[in-house]
Structure 1
């Protein structure tokens, strides 16, 4: 229970007034013994206990009536969403999950997101004066909401085709809470409880708990859990689009949920290539069906775009998948460093024998200042730090979209010189018979992300005997088991620099086994080569989305009709920016229906209150006012007290005539 006007509860001291009056009345009377009254007192002594009980009951009713009246004036609010600590709120920070899965419509009418604004509005109508701020999962910025009723129509509250990162959002909320000094604040998290959004294995959670507890007024955290899901759903995604002998080859997966896996079915599908749509059918069986479609292309068409779509159901965001296709460009990889074991392993991992589209060079005879980086997809730098002239070339290369992987040199001392604000410390050696082990890495995005089938790369098999810790500011992509950084990333312009803390030499680590190094280099080479391709495939709100200071991305596909809208920051589709055409899709993790359990939530946020929310409820509210109930209680107490105070009816005395 909470109260709209909690300061009025100080008036509960008025409930002691009947007791004070009772005590004063007792003190006013003095007992005087009188022989004539002794007989009457003995006669009444046998009923004294009953009278005392009656007096105490009347006194209790008077106290309860005053207390109920005061409570009614304080306007109590009832509801499982609130506890006793919700009175006198100054601000509510609403953390809103705008991921694609929030567009599911369990009642076939309203989406999960549509449930939130009416709940917030009706609750604020009863909370009284309280400020509302919004932190959404797409822009990851805080917006002041002028009035709760405006929440439903704000662009920053609409569902997008992107994912969500709840721990990252809470981490961004903490500086705002520290600076705002709003007084008593609560954090409301509105989410469909999808595990991919909550990221229970994220190392950020421990920091979030510590920083929330360290605030001068720690906020209560309340979770609006929207766990309803459509009974059945189909989703489709393109895993690969490539050209083979003049034909477009599409590899796709169709996911089915809520259907009998032993019951096959035939489902219609639309395939659009360069906005020319053709219909086909897919034979589906089981929970996941892998399908390959080959489409003949005109002789003069080696690149293009398109989409594949299923009939709309109660979750339409996963009914469509976009793609682009073009001849795959050659990925040139430059490896700079001293000749030896590390260089050979790096060359082998960057361009494995038999893998087309890769070319690794080790220009040991060319001075670094004379290296030409304009045609390179990836630069691998190991050994001594680059000199001033080469450092400027590398920075320009990165800002233009190139990628550079830095590895430490094979010496015991650290480096004083920084590149993009990062340097290496002195070499550290693991204790005897022990190793440094990779324990956690970013499995959701980036170069160490899980595969399209959600299979993680075996990065936890990496063992190191020696390492050089990083100093400076960087984003951690992988961590050792003691929490220090194993792989860091610094963004600059359209590209990135990555920093490994160990070497692919068996005197340092087992990087040469390829558990982490091979997928890392291949993904970096693919990403670096994309800037030479006219076709790119990315995720909605991907940090690697092409940027331009002057141009705006133009929507190319006609999936939404002849005048499609949206931006690659929030809407899936095919876009063109300058000479680049790229497909943007929802994160595949949004197709995973797994939800985080309440028990797991309480391990991440031990004091969080979780309330299950349902859509489609008329006049929904998170709380209900209870002042009328307390008024009725006060009235009932007063009526009962009046009845108990009525004098008893005495037997009618007989008249003299009756006696005769």
Structure 2
């Protein structure tokens, strides 16, 4: 039990007033005339005893009346003895600044309402003397100073005023944990601790919290959740943006697909606009049913190589931040490919490498014909070096024989650092040698964890062949073949037996009718490996003559050479690792964010991976981040414009699409989530004000108020005392007086 106005308890001393009055005006027994003296003593004793009991009872009622009145004025309550004990209050004002708080209602953002309430709480709920507070953000921007408790009201008001609305997603349970930790710093033992969470109660922002630590239990801070999230909104969001198409080379069309979701309960009509390099390119009007997602597709042809950026934007609604999503793409002049063979053949037309190179670049040896999108160069295994492979992104290894350890090391390093390796098995296959390249005692270090057996030897009957089955048309490279029968034109006479171990990450893209695998793919660190179990040798297959082979090989090359580090999107607030696969020495990197601010980084080689990397953490804004590799060694080898174009790269940062879902967590679910915490909900949001928060906080600090109950008791005692003193006591007195009257005919009483 506690008291709000404890000094009123001094009024309990007024309970002595009835005692003093009682002592001054003490009643004496009246003189009674009675004829027989022997009855007088008994009568006086009865009268005195009754009056003494009545007087003591009235005295008790009057003392109790004064004491309880003082007790009521002190405003007693039942609750923690640590609450409301003076003005020593430590509080944390936790502002949810995730981008869902940018939702507007009547042209006023939720975050603006939250900031006004925070200022009101600081002014009305925290006493000027003895209290300290801190302003904490659920998504603090990069470099934001660490908050601390301070009694400086002007500084706290500035922190609230300058608090920015972020473009990131909130984790409010983690933010609440930070608030608990802040209050527990340096052995803080303030009698009253409070955490005010001003939020829209978006469900996605409340993952499961950690249990309360022991340092947070004594005293246990009160967790007051102030609700500012209303349900009268209209929100349609661009939730995903992907680039599709063939080769990323100039002159070829690229398709950009945007997924647009309607999060409201009514049908929405929106205009989707497509931008490339700051210029508007196309527009579509879309009808979106409630709570559904549709896809808008835009096609564009880039005429210049280099890094290009763009976005898809829809009409503004209650939440403007999710109405745009950005993309980035690197366009090349052509795709360089390196075809590697065992040795120079005696006759080119009998060499499987000849058909692979021709499929990649059909007119590569005829300067009068237009060049292919893929421009292939041919070399031999014994000429492979790290320097040679740095100039290409994809290596096609055709019918390798015995591989030397140095060659295996070069190829493994190439793939580890982001290269793409395509392997064709053929007559020269040495299973053990190829297995040394693909496998490793540690499964995590295997290029492609598979088991390769010996192919059939000798003269094969070409009337017996296998066909292609189970083409995985969900794969991006094979999607274009869905519904076509081109794959059935392939005949495979011989193939290396391939077994994929259980739980291995290797993916079979196309199988053979005998159960063997035809085409497999696996990721290895930054790179990828693709394996054909057969090759273009006429004794092994008819791939060279098949209409399926050329488009299949090109689609694979297009897919493998997509720049995931460029086209992939990063989430606002997440650090981005910049990997330089073609540089093996420390270099400087200059990053320009979407606002034009520049940051300098230092990229250093990692001994474990062999990659040169740098980490950029300042991803607080959405959009294209362009970075320049400052490598003076390479710049001197090229023209300045070419060196700049090659050194300039980019990546994209977009908001987390889950933040667009404004569905709320219920009060009951919130209480279940924070079971064991001293949680108090303050709402509803359409009526939330600083005065409402103050009233709720006062009620919480008071615990269970007892003042009204005590006042009712005081009123009852006053009424009962009046009734007893004016009705009951005189009635007893009259009855006694009647008994004391002399009987008729009795002699006159003697004077005593």
SS where residue 138 of structure 1 aligns? Answer: coil
Structure 2 CA distance for partners of 1:370 and 1:546, relative to 1, 3 Å: closer
Q: 2:111 aligns with which of 103, 110, 113?
A: 113
Equivalents in 2 of 1:520, 1:630: separation in Å? 72
**Aligned counterparts of 2:136 and 2:404: Cα–Cα separation in 1:** 51
| Matched length | 474
Shift of 1:617: 5.6
Residue 198 (structure 2) aligns with: 190
Shift of the 302–513 alpha-carbon distance from structure 1 to 2, 3 Å rule, reads closer
Tell whether 2:694 aligns with 1:623: yes
Task: Give me the whole-angstrom Cα distance separating, in 2, the residues matched to 1:71 and 1:549.
Answer: 68
Question: For the residues of structure 1 that align with 2:262 and 2:256, how far apart are their CA atoms?
Answer: 19
Instruction: Give yes or no for the alignment of 1:572 onto 2:622.
Output: yes
Cα offset, 1:31, TM superposition: 7.0
Tell me if the contact between 2:330 and 2:566 (Cα under 8 Å) persists in the aligned partners.
Answer: yes
Deviation per residue, 1:308-343 (Å, 9 max, x gap): 2222111112211111123599999xxxxxxxxxxx
**Cα distance 1:593–1:122, how it changes in 2: closer, same or farther (>3 A)?**
closer
Contact 1:96 1:189 (C-alpha < 8 Å) held by counterparts = yes
* 1:311 to 2:315 alignment: yes
Aligned counterparts of 1:364 and 1:23: Cα–Cα separation in 2: 112
Q: Tell me by how many angstroms 1:552 deviates.
A: 4.8
Instruction: State the alpha-carbon separation in 1 of the partners of residues 562 and 219 from structure 2.
Output: 48
- Please, which of 323, 329, 341 is the counterpart of residue 325 of structure 1? 329
The separation in 1 between residues aligned to 2:287 and 2:55, in whole angstroms, is: 86
CA distance in 2, matches of 1:631, 1:214: 31
The residue number in structure 1 matching 2:186 is: 180
Cα pair distance change 1:111/1:54, threshold 3 Å: farther
Deviating 4+ runs (over 6 angstroms): 27-31, 37-57, 328-332, 356-364, 367-372, 528-532, 547-550, 629-648
Distance in 2 separating the partners of 1:553 and 1:633: 67
SS at 2:625 equivalent: strand
Q: CA deviation at 1:272?
A: 1.4
Cα 1:532–1:310 shift into 2, 3 Å: closer
User: What is aligned with 1:236?
Assistant: 238
Rounded to whole Å, the distance in 1 between the matches of 2:135 and 2:100 is: 19
1:166 pairs with one of 172, 176, 183:
172
Q: Deviations over 1:38-70 (max 9, x none)?
A: 999999999999999887665455334433444
Secondary structure class of the residue paired with 1:142: coil
Contact 2:415–2:527 under 8 Å retained in 1: no
SS at match of 1:283: strand
Q: Give how far 1:143 is off.
A: 1.8
Map 1:142-291 → 2, pairs under 5 A: 142-144=146-148, 146-147=152-153, 148-154=156-162, 157-173=163-179, 175-184=181-190, 185-200=193-208, 205=209, 208-211=210-213, 216-244=218-246, 246-260=252-266, 266-277=269-280, 278-291=282-295
Alpha-carbon distance in structure 1 between the residues aligned to 2:254 and 2:206: 37
The 1:288/1:511 distance shift into structure 2, 3 A limit, reads same
Determine the C-alpha separation between the residues in 2 that align with 1:83 and 1:310: 56
- CA 1:136–1:514 in 2, change beyond 3 Å: closer, same or farther? farther
Is residue 655 of structure 2 the alignment partner of residue 586 of structure 1? yes
Counterpart contact for 1:62–1:641, Cα < 8 Å: no
Deviation at 1:585, TM superposition (A): 1.1
1:101–1:590: 8 Å Cα contact kept in structure 2? yes
Q: Cα distance, 1:16 vs. partner? A: 2.8
1:199-258 residue CA offsets vs partner (Å, 9 max, x unmatched): 23xxxx3xx324256655333322223342333221123330244472231211221133
What 5-or-longer segments of structure 2 have no aligned partner? 34-39, 338-373, 375-392, 421-438, 444-498, 509-519, 529-559, 580-586, 597-616, 629-647, 727-752
Residues 318-397 of structure 1 aligned to structure 2 (within 5 Å): 318-327=322-331, 365-366=405-406, 373=413, 376-377=416-417
What are the superposed Cα offsets for residues 366-416 of structure 1, whole Å, 9 maximum, x if unpaired? 399878847744599xxxxxxxxxxxxxxxxxxxxxxxxx99959xxxxxx
What displacement does 1:586 show? 0.8
Closer, same or farther: CA 241–368 of 1 in aligned 2, 3 Å: closer
SS of residue in 2 equivalent to 1:594: coil
User: Any conservation in 2 of the 1:270–1:279 contact (CA below 8 Å)?
Assistant: yes
C-alpha contact 2:261 2:291 (8 A) present in aligned 1: yes
1:423: which partner in 2?
Answer: none
Distance 1:231 1:602 in 2: 25
d(CA) in 1 for partners of 2:211 and 2:171?
A: 16
Identify the structure with bigger relative contact order (alpha carbons < 8 Å, sequence gap 6+): 1
Q: For the structure 1 residues 233 and 35, does the alpha-carbon distance in structure 2 shift closer, same or farther, using more than 3 Å as the test?
A: same
Q: CA deviation at 1:112?
A: 1.8
Counterparts in 2 of 1:42 and 1:217: CA distance versus 1, 3 Å: closer
1:555 alignment partner, SS class: coil
What are the within-5 Å matches in structure 2 for residues 457-496 of structure 1? none
Query: Greater CA radius of gyration, 1 or 2?
Result: 2
Partner of 1:299, secondary structure, is coil
2:92 aligns with 93
Which residue of the other structure, out of 571, 578, 599, is the alignment partner of 1:539?
571
- The residue matched to 2:272 in structure 1 has which SS? strand
Equivalent runs, 1:424-573 vs 2, <5 Å:
510=503, 521=523, 535-544=567-576, 551-555=590-594, 569-573=619-623
> How far apart in 2 are the matches of 1:520 and 1:196?
34
User: Following the alignment from structure 2 to structure 1, what is the Cα–Cα distance between the partners of residues 255 and 670?
Assistant: 43
Residue aligning to 1:36? 32
TM-aligned CA distance change 1:533 to 1:43, over 3 Å: closer
Cα distance change, pair 619–519 in 1 and its aligned pair in 2 (3 A): farther
In the other structure, the counterpart of 1:335 is none
The within-5 A match list for 1:49-64 is 59-64=63-68
User: Is 1:102 aligned with 2:173?
Assistant: no
User: Is the 2:328–2:567 Cα contact (8 Å) retained in structure 1?
Assistant: yes
Normalised to the residue count of structure 1, the TM-score between the two structures is 0.57
RMSD of aligned residue pairs (Cα, Å): 5.6
Structure 1 residue runs without a partner (length 5+): 333-355, 381-405, 411-503, 558-566, 649-660
Cα distance in structure 2, aligned partners of 1:224 and 1:360:
62
**Change beyond 3 A, Cα 1:538–1:193:** same
Quote the offset at 1:162 in angstroms. 0.4
What do residues 459-505 of structure 1 show as CA deviations (whole Å, max 9, x unaligned)? xxxxxxxxxxxxxxxxxxxxxxxxxxxxxxxxxxxxxxxxxxxxx99
For 2:169 and 2:212, the matched residues in 1 are separated by 25
Secondary structure of the 1:127 match is coil
The 1:599–1:522 alpha-carbon spacing in structure 2 relative to 1, beyond 3 Å, is farther
SS of match in other structure, 1:323 = strand
* Aligned counterpart, 2:122: 124
- Separation of aligned partners in 2, 1:359 and 1:86: 74
Contact 1:135 1:173 in 2 (8 A): yes
* TM-score, normalization by structure 2: 0.50
Q: What corresponds to 1:19 in structure 2? A: 15
Structure 1's 633 and 124: CA in aligned 2 closer, same or farther, altered over 3 A?
farther
CA distance in 2, matches of 1:23, 1:408: 97
Match of residue 342 from structure 1: none
Q: Does the CA-based 8 Å contact 1:110-1:615 persist in structure 2?
A: no
Given candidates 602, 615, 619, the residue that maps to 2:671 is 602
Cα displacement (A) at 1:593: 2.8
Instruction: State the alpha-carbon separation in 2 of the partners of residues 92 and 407 from structure 1.
Output: 57
